[in-house]
Amino acid sequence: MDEETLLCLLSRYNVPFLTWDTSRAPGSKTREDLLSEILTGDTVLALSSSGLLRKTTVAAIDIFYTDVFATLKLVEDRQVSTTGQVTRRHLETSIGEKLHRNEYPIAGARRALREELGISHPVKLDFKRVFEKGPLYSKSFPGIKSLFTLYLFEMNMPAHLFVPNGYTETQPKKTSYFVWKDIS
């Protein structure tokens, strides 16, 4: 798919893509972001009874740390864009990554650890379950519903990789901050 084909498809299904990445749709991404997701295989666009449906498969990890005093769960605290806009999402899992075309879920989970937390050491990941979430209206791409297939893993953070103040992921357009939350 090229950009012209994508724009024709979005127009045909009355997707308000001209408002994306503007003050009228704060927190949304660009058409270029959607095209990139399609080209990498992170997203597939399909037709549904309500219009376009964005299908995405995600490797997600719940990350815990337990010591004698508490049980902690890693959560995303916030994302800060390069423009200074702060987004607080309330995610069900600690971290997650969209799977690339033909990528195994365990490989995506390990990539999430590397990219989001800077952890490339081998760690034990326990597969918990696979489930679907959605279709939901997309905040990233308003006018398109999203259906997520999630492969959920669980991890107990080894003491030598535990960072008490949390972790930071810096990307070209945003920085994500992850902190520990006491769940004992």
pLDDT at 147 (0 to 100): 96
User: Cα–Cα distance between 52 and 12 in angstroms, integer?
Assistant: 10
Residues in the chain: 184
Which pLDDT band holds residue 124 (cuts at 50, 70, 90)? very high
pLDDT at 75 (0 to 100): 98
pLDDT over 90 (residue 23): no
Sketch the domain layout of the chain as residue ranges: 3-182
pLDDT at 24 (0 to 100): 80
pLDDT at 50 (0 to 100): 84
Tokens of 71: 């049980």
pLDDT at 71 (0 to 100): 97
From 3.30.450, 1.10.3470, 3.30.70, 3.90.79, which CATH number describes the 3-182 domain? 3.90.79
